[in-house]
Amino acid sequence: MNLAELQDVAYKGGMPKFVGKQLAEWIYAKGAESFDEMVNISKKNKQWLADNYIIGRELPVKSSKSTDGTVKYLFSAGNGRHIESVYIPDHDRATLCVSSQVGCKMNCYFCATGKLGFKANLTAADIMNQILSIPPRPTKGMAPMNPLTNVVFMGMGEPLDNFGAVERAIEILTAPWGLAWSPKRITVSTVGKLPQLKELLDRTQVHVAISVHTADIAQRESMMPAQKAFPISSVMKCLAGYDFSHQRRLSLEYIMWRGVNDDIAHADMLVKLIGDIECRVNLIRFHAIPGVDLYPASEERMLMFRNYLNQKGITATIRASRGEDIAAACGMLAAKS
């Protein structure tokens, strides 16, 4: 719930309006898991709240830790369904990769989540639970020691295919009554689903990452069915109308496959696609999944590709691969418990 809805809860229970703000503080800022923890709300009002509402927090069902420190969490999504989140520590940064759907409609050829098909949209509560319920747990009566510095919507699902819930989660993360984060701590990844991409750009200030993977249109259409509905040329035209030269960042995601999209001709197509749009290109190692006859590009090819883009004035980096040994790396999430 947002602040207005929490205030409405207080009103329904015959409580002053300010109790709604207290509820927001306890649930979001302090991470309360029960109404009993809310010491500045009367016993009678806490009982009424407990009789009519639940906090809605659920701990992960299971976790797996990688040799590189990455942790994958399995969460229940109701009706026997599950989703995964990935915690990625990196020096002074700690990023949580969250899911927005059970499965995915986009059916990208190279993605394990896409192989599941679409099962369900997550609610804003399901999304926030991933963020609020990962360890370490707080000491009773103290504010939670949430270790996160960043959240990326790059887990299971296409975030803009569940835009309402994702937007609400962003509101809770950034609102003064919520977690009060800067929107620059949040990145939303998408295949380029229009018109929701424009809504995200207009209504939030979060960073945006576009899954490009190849600038060869026929090739992209064969591997990413979303290309037919949302052509990458239309996506780039939309992005060209926004300023990414200051604090807000645009990233283009590019998985590299051996002998498929890892040569200079493909690099040149990507340069032409970008034009003069301010962005960063993240080159990503492919992580093999069952039933997909694609192979990772060589280190030499990735370096060549990166250097070519840099020479053309485009900032390109090779993303460090994390959590592959626990099937937590890019494209591997399938919630197989």
DSSP 224-248: -THHHHS-HHHHHHHHTTS--SSSS
pLDDT band at 91 (very low <50, low <70, confident <90, very high): confident
Mean predicted confidence (pLDDT) in 57-64? 94
**Distance separating alpha carbons of residues 33 and 190, to the nearest angstrom:** 32
Q: What is the pLDDT of residue 314?
A: 98
Q: What is the pLDDT of residue 332?
A: 59
Is there a catalytic annotation at residue 330? yes
Quick check: helix, strand or coil at residue 327? coil
Is there a catalytic annotation at residue 84? yes
Q: What is the pLDDT of residue 145?
A: 47
Is the separation of the CB atoms in 321 and 285 below 8 Å? yes
Best CA proximity match to 287, nearest among 328, 252, 315, 251: 328
Quick check: helix, strand or coil at residue 114? helix
- Number of Cα atoms under 13 Å in the Cβ half of residue 125: 11
**Those residues with Cβ within 8 angstroms of residue 38's Cβ, 6 or more apart along the chain or in another chain:** 22, 23, 26, 32, 46
The single-letter code of the amino acid at 334 is: A
pLDDT band at 335 (very low <50, low <70, confident <90, very high): low
Mean predicted confidence (pLDDT) in 312-317? 98
pLDDT tens per residue across span 219-255: 999 999 999 999 999 999 999 999 998 899 999 999 9
Q: What is the pLDDT of residue 322?
A: 77
Lowest mean pLDDT among 38-52, 165-179, 195-209, 323-337: 323-337
Choose, from 97, 108, 111, 330, the residue flagged as catalytic.
330
Q: Residue 327 pLDDT > 80, yes or no?
A: no
pLDDT tens per residue across span 180-221: 999 999 999 999 999 999 999 999 999 999 999 999 999 999
Q: What is the pLDDT of residue 142?
A: 45
Q: Residue 144 pLDDT > 50, yes or no?
A: no
pLDDT band at 324 (very low <50, low <70, confident <90, very high): low
Q: What is the pLDDT of residue 290?
A: 86
pLDDT tens per residue across span 259-281: 999 999 999 999 999 999 999 99
pLDDT, averaged across the chain: 93
Q: Two tokens at 206?
A: 């979060």
Best CA proximity match to 73, nearest among 57, 81, 62: 62
Pairing of strands 93-97, 82-90: antiparallel
- Number of Cα atoms under 13 Å in the Cβ half of residue 118: 14
With residue 209 as reference, give the H or E element that holds it: strand 207-211
Choose, from 33, 84, 158, 167, the residue flagged as catalytic.
84
Q: Two tokens at 234?
A: 């239309």
Q: What is the pLDDT of residue 321?
A: 78
pLDDT tens per residue across span 145-177: 457 999 999 999 999 999 999 999 999 999 999
**Distance separating alpha carbons of residues 269 and 317, to the nearest angstrom:** 18
Is the separation of the CB atoms in 244 and 209 below 8 Å? no
pLDDT band at 320 (very low <50, low <70, confident <90, very high): confident
Q: What is the pLDDT of residue 309?
A: 98
